[in-house]
Structure formats: structure tokens, C-alpha cells
Amino acid sequence: MKPSIAAESLREHVFSIPIIDTHEHIPDEGVACANRLGFFGLFEHYVSSDLVSAGMPRENLEALRNPDNGLTPQQRWALMADWWPYVRTTGYGRAMLEYLHQLFGVEDVNPDTVLELCRRIDEAHKPGWFRTVLKDRANIDKALVIRWPGQSVEVDRELFRAVPILDHYAMVGTRADLAELEIESGGSIQTLDQLMNAQEERLESFTAKGIVAVKLFLAYRRTLQLDRYSKIEAGRVFDRLWLSQKLDLTLQDLKPLQDFMTRRLIGLAAERGLPIQIHTGLQEGNGNFIENSKPTLLTSLFFDFPDARFDLFHAGYPWAGEVAALAKNFTNVYADLCWMPAVSPAFMARVLDEWIETIPANKILAVGGDSNYVEGAFGHCTIARRVVSDVLSRKVAGDYLTSAEAHWLAKRLLRENARELFRLNQETVE
Ligand SMILES: [Zn+2]
């Protein structure tokens, strides 16, 4: 069916919006370009996890992405070839095929094309590649990029804004964890007060360097249920942890300290006007406890921190209805579709369709690639634009929105909501 003129003009409008991408994991360009694995450098996540899910032995995955074992591209391909047919049909597989085609002109990955594909990727990976892909091809104004412990938050501000993960000040579980924090913070951490000071100083120095949010990653490791404990209760756990030389403390033992420190981070972030991005729903990789990541586990935080602003990631997949209910209910909760364009465009379309009806229009964030690669950011953001344009077109065709409202909403979803939430609209020009 031919798209109507109205649908075409909406699509053009959606693709012309310089987006604020709420979530990526892209490393520095020098690091990305140093990877000489070509196509096989794209298997840090997503398609790799689907290959393992389909039955590919983990050893194959480790071998195909090991740069030091001297395998040729064809030998690496042979390690995954049996499982590729089963993953090329998933959202991850489709997204990868699409960006490989659009960025490198290779229509399909197979034994005949894999060598040439590797060559083209290697050739492209040189200074300026990030700019080409993110600005010229993806039309991304700024991407919020995660910084892990140990990574600098000083990013290329033409392209990025940094969002550090500071979970490690709260998720301490062993004496060795404390020793690592001592190295990072440059002071001794022998008391709860010292741990609290180190956490606050870290956040303070990152804030001075221009971070725009903090990210909580904990649902990969434990439940999102963060109960309220007193400082005395947390201090007792700290002392046990500090005295204990063995790895004998369970999550139940540690929970008062972890919950106390995580809640404190939320309070400190709120005082500085920094939103808290929280991983909810599906955990990437193979093997995890999905129920740890249920968005409603967070509810008490929304009551206890009315001044904090919470950005709930990944539509809480599969609990997108819970995210909608929370964002509808609480002023301080925002609903974010990042990663969903790659997980399932159909899910994203269904959810966005409902969210437009349930959540006020200033609290939906529709685009975040959640990729370790600029190629993935481009691919996932392109899919997100397509989904947004299709959903809005259907809403116009069904007389739910006028065409003018759809054009306005597209800009909110792809740009303005994120600009307001992360206060990019308040930045002074550098
Ligand atoms: Zn992520």
C-alpha cells in the first residue's frame, strides 16, 4: 500500500529532527577504531546473546570475538554459521543487517561477503567515523553515553553527554570491593561515613565535569526493591563487611547497606538536578532473574523522593503497562523506550501507541539505541524514527491526532522531552 501524502510528510519531518538519544554505551572513538575484528567486533552484545540463546556453544562466541587467536574471518564465520539463520530474524538480527547494509553497502552476511564486510568496516574505522555516523547519517544531536567505573566522564561534547554508573559505591559486597573504591577515591574507606563521603565527592566531581544524569544498573545483580534503612542499620552491615575477610555475606545480609547507599545516591542526584536513569525489565545477556527488574518494585522511591526525576529504561520490557501506570501516576516518573527498537520494533510500536494515550506527552522518551557501537546507535535510532512515524501516522489516520498534533508530538518524543529532562536546553553554548 502506498503511504499517503500526509504520512510521507510526517515521515520526512520525523527524519529531519536532530534527536537526543537517551542511552548509548559507545566507547571513545580511539578505542572503537583500535578494534580490528571488523564484523566480528560487533558481537559484544545482542546478536551474540541471541546466538547463545539459539544454542551456539559459548566457546564458539568467545573464539569468534577473540582478536588474538589468529582466526581468519571465514573461520570466525564458520563458528556461528549454523545458528545465524535463527537469529537473523530477531529484532537484533534485523537491526544488524540493516545497519550493515546502510553503512557498508553489504546486503547480506554469508561466506561470500564476510571478508569484504570486514575489510569495509576496518577501512571505515578511523578518526571522524563517529561524527560521520552519528551526525551525518543518524542526525543525532547528542547521545547520552554510559561511563563505567574507571572510565572518564570527559566525553566529546560535540556528540555526547556522560551518564556515569555509580552503583559500585552502593553494591559493595566484599572487603576487596572497598579496597577498589579506596584506589578510585584516593582515600581510606574504613567507616560508613568515609564511604558516604567518597560517594558524594565522586558525584560532585562528575557533576562539575558536566554529567547530565546518573544510571542505576543494579537490576542485573539483585532486586530493584530498595527499602528504607537507618544509617545505624547500614553502618552495622558496613562494619561486618569491613571485618569479614571471607566472601560470606549474602544479599540479605548486605541489603541494608546497599539500599541505604543507593537511596542516598538518589537523594544526592536529586539535589543536583540530575535525573536517575534506571535499568528495568529485560537484562541483556544470557541467564538472569527477570523478576528482579520489575518496575513496580521501585514504587516506594517515587513517594520518598518527590524531587528526584526517574527515567525508567527499556519500557520495563515486558512490563510496559506497569511503566505506563507509574508514569501516569507519578509526576517524577518518565517512560523511556531505549533499546526497544532493537529488541522488537513491533513491541515498541504497540507500546508507543498505548503510551501516547496513557502518559502525558512531556514524559515519553522514544529514542535510545543502547548500543556499544555507533553503527548500532545509527541502526536502532533509524528504526525508532520509523516506528514513531508509523505510529503517529496511524493515529492521524484513525482521527486520534490531527496532523499538526502528530508533528508536534514527534518533536517532543525524539528531542524536546529529553532536552528538558536532562536540562540540555539550559546549557550555555561552549
Ligand atoms: Zn544500556
pLDDT at 429 > cutoff 80: no
pLDDT at 430 > cutoff 70: no
- 31 within domain boundaries: no
- 97 within domain boundaries: yes
User: What is the domain count for the chain?
Assistant: 2
Q: How many CB atoms lie within 10 A of CB 280?
A: 28
- 337 within domain boundaries: yes
* CA 187 / ligand 1 centre spacing (Å): 30
Q: How many residues does the chain have?
A: 430
* CA 402 / ligand 1 centre spacing (Å): 34
- Residue 314 and residue 366 share a domain: yes
Q: Which grid cell sits at 129?
A: 567515523
pLDDT of residue 138: 98
Q: What does the pLDDT look like over 84-97, one tens digit per residue?
A: 999 999 999 999 99
pLDDT at 6 > cutoff 90: no
pLDDT at 270 > cutoff 90: yes
333-336 sheet: strands from edge to edge: 214-216, 276-278, 310-312, 333-336, 364-365
- Residue 345 and residue 375 share a domain: yes
Over residues 117-135, the mean pLDDT reads 97
Report the alpha-carbon distance of residue 260 to residue 237 in Å, rounded: 11
pLDDT at 248 > cutoff 80: no
* CA 380 / ligand 1 centre spacing (Å): 13
* CA 210 / ligand 1 centre spacing (Å): 20
- Residue 236 and residue 171 share a domain: yes
pLDDT of residue 3: 74
- Residue 103 and residue 161 share a domain: no
Of the candidates 173, 193, 171, 168, which has an alpha carbon nearest to the alpha carbon of residue 183?
A: 168
- 101 within domain boundaries: yes
* CA 338 / ligand 1 centre spacing (Å): 8
For residue 169, the enclosing domain spans 139-426
- Residue 179 and residue 302 share a domain: yes
Point out the domain boundary residue: 66, 101, 124: 124
* CA 245 / ligand 1 centre spacing (Å): 33
213 phi and psi angles, rounded to 5 deg: -170, 170
* CA 137 / ligand 1 centre spacing (Å): 22
Report the alpha-carbon distance of residue 231 to residue 307 in Å, rounded: 21
- 218 within domain boundaries: yes
Residues 74, 114 contacting (CB under 8 angstroms): yes
Over residues 22-40, the mean pLDDT reads 95
Mean pLDDT of all residues in the chain? Answer: 96
- Residue 231 and residue 164 share a domain: yes
Q: What does the pLDDT look like over 392-411, one tens digit per residue?
A: 999 999 999 999 999 999 99
pLDDT of residue 4: 85
Point out the domain boundary residue: 67, 101, 124: 124
- 93 within domain boundaries: yes
pLDDT of residue 403: 96
pLDDT of residue 1: 62
DSSP H helices in 279-414: 299-304, 320-329, 340-343, 345-358, 374-397, 403-411
pLDDT of residue 243: 86
- Residue 404 and residue 351 share a domain: yes
- Residue 206 and residue 86 share a domain: no
Q: What does the pLDDT look like over 168-195, one tens digit per residue?
A: 999 999 999 999 999 999 999 999 999 9
* CA 35 / ligand 1 centre spacing (Å): 21
List the end-to-end C-alpha distance of the chain, in Å, as a whole number: 47
* CA 24 / ligand 1 centre spacing (Å): 6
* CA 370 / ligand 1 centre spacing (Å): 5
Q: Which grid cell sits at 267?
A: 537523594
pLDDT of residue 244: 78
- 397 within domain boundaries: yes
* CA 233 / ligand 1 centre spacing (Å): 32
pLDDT of residue 143: 98
* CA 166 / ligand 1 centre spacing (Å): 14
Residues 80, 53 contacting (CB under 8 angstroms): no
pLDDT of residue 246: 66
Residues 35, 65 contacting (CB under 8 angstroms): no
- Residue 201 and residue 58 share a domain: no
Strands in 224-336 per DSSP E: 276-278, 310-312, 333-336
With cut-offs at 50, 70 and 90, classify the pLDDT of residue 5: confident
- Residue 249 and residue 152 share a domain: yes
* CA 113 / ligand 1 centre spacing (Å): 30
Point out the domain boundary residue: 90, 124, 158: 124
- Residue 156 and residue 57 share a domain: no
* CA 214 / ligand 1 centre spacing (Å): 12
Instruction: Say which residue, 72 or 248, is predicted with more confidence.
Output: 72
Which burial class, exposed, middle or buried, applies to 53 when counting CB atoms under 10 A from its CB (0-12, 13-18, 19+)? middle
* CA 145 / ligand 1 centre spacing (Å): 9
